[in-house]
Amino acid sequence: MRKSSLAGVSIAAVILAAISITRSGAEPVLRGAEAFGDWQRDKPGTVRLITPQDLPRPGATASSSNSSRVVQRPASAVPQVPAGFKIELFASGLSGPRIIRTAPNGDIFVAETGPGRIRILRSADGATKPATNEVYATGLSRPFGIAFFPSGDNPQWLYVANTDSVVRFAYRNGDLKAPGKPEAVARLPRGSNHFTRDIVFTPDDKRMLVSVGSAGNAGEGLGQPPQGVEAWSRDHALGAAWGIETDRAAVLAFDPDGKNQKLFATGIRNCVGLAIQPGSGTPWCSTNERDGRGDNLVPDYVTRVREGAFYGWPWYYIGANEDPAHAGARPDLKDKVTVPDVLLQAHSASLGLTFYTGSSFPPEYRGDAFAAEHGSWNRSKRTGYKVIRIRLKDGVPTGEYEDFVTGFVIGDNEIWGRPVGVTVARDGALLVSEDGNGTIWRVSRE
């Protein structure tokens, strides 16, 4: 038997070498293979840093089909949060609550995607339960994203991103019922996989950004776009040689009235959650990457989205890593791929995204982002099923992320909660929706 190159070095020492301290008194940061882990190692305060250099080769492990079984939440099951915080059940009995957004007046808008409706929850600041629970609108087509327009304290419109369109309702602060049928604003690609569409407006209110996921996993069987990413981006919008993926795997830009559609960024397999970073006004995406490449490929990610940037799908991932299904197909794109900012455990299914703008959490949280991880199916060891904190320093992502809310997994095969949406309530609490048992949870300071 060949001796290990680590002869004389204890396993414990190797593990400790993979863990470093980033700041005095802070929790350890799991790096490299240690950062991949699984649900059994998840706990509030655990910090991970995954870099492009940490990625295994495609097929290093087999691709697994390991779907979770959703069970009724046990009476004793309560999510876990870091020391100094508490978590309470805010609302229950909802039908698959997905994206949640806070209106300027403090109302919480909830997209119940399956039933095709938008619900409003209203509570006094500091209250742990909503005093009002009303259905705002029905008859929508798998609604997901919600946005208020224009920005500021007095919006005039409520926009909803359906799976096949963007619609809007005339809106005034405090409305509990839609005033009538929605106005159609823009048509969106529909059908196939990845049906969610999120929506935000740029801070100057001049552009509406809408995320549209790919129709497939990794561009199987598609026609090849023209040579050069610039030509591809231009002709992609026209549908040239691209079939069912036209205007998909992208963030689209429109005028607020739905006119002048353009591609804002491309090669993003499934940007489920969109958010605008306060201060900088930069759009961010919470992204599901491709499956079928092994337990630890391809990392999901949360990233700033640069206008005109190309993020690799389907030919490349996380920079110049070529997808084996498209080997040699597009060498001209290899050096044009933008590397995402924060790499997450592969198959976490990163969904909703928000920035912390409140004042009730400790000062170091202000400006950081929170993302909801819906949980894996394509991994032998379950991961995701939690809410993570994306750490920023002076508004710039460090690449680190921290487990913030955990405890939705019961065992290797059973879970009770699948986080989807995150929003900051007017009183500074963080609200988290999960569509496994149809609940919303409220995280606040103790």
Q: Tell me the average pLDDT across 198-225.
A: 89
- Contacts (Cβ under 8 Å, ≥6 apart) of 307: 253, 264, 265
Q: pLDDT for 326-374, tens place per residue? A: 999 999 999 999 999 999 999 999 999 999 999 999 999 999 999 999 9
Global pTM exceeds 0.85: yes
Residue 382: band (very low, low, confident or very high) from pLDDT cuts 50, 70, 90: very high
Return the bridge partners of 371, or none: 353, 388
Segments in 187-280 forming alpha helices (H): 229-236
Q: What is the pLDDT of residue 225?
A: 53
- Owner of token pair 């002709």: 235
| Separation in Å, CA 258 to CA 195, 213, 245, 252, 370 | 19, 19, 20, 11, 29
Q: Tell me the average pLDDT across 143-151.
A: 98
Omega prior to 298 cis, within 30 of 0: yes
- % of residues, the chain, pLDDT over 70: 89
Q: 377: which 2 tokens?
A: 């199916």
d(CA 345, CA 388): 11
Q: pLDDT for 252-275, tens place per residue? A: 999 999 999 999 999 999 999 999
d(CA 365, CA 84): 13
**Residue 229 in this model has a pLDDT that exceeds 70:** no
Domains of the chain: 60-445 (2.120.10.30)
Q: What is the pLDDT of residue 147?
A: 98
Residue 191: band (very low, low, confident or very high) from pLDDT cuts 50, 70, 90: confident
Q: pLDDT for 388-399, tens place per residue? A: 999 999 999 999
Is the Cα dihedral 210, 215, 217, 221 positive or negative?
A: negative
DSSP at 135 = E
Return the bridge partners of 287, or none: 271, 301
- Owner of token pair 């591609």: 263
Q: What is the pLDDT of residue 16?
A: 37
Question: Which of 164-168, 217-221, 419-423 has the least mean pLDDT?
Answer: 217-221
Q: 57: which 2 tokens?
A: 């080769």
d(CA 415, CA 405): 14
Q: Side-chain half-sphere of 91: how many Cα atoms within 13 Å?
A: 25
Q: pLDDT for 6-31, tens place per residue? A: 333 333 333 333 434 334 345 789 99
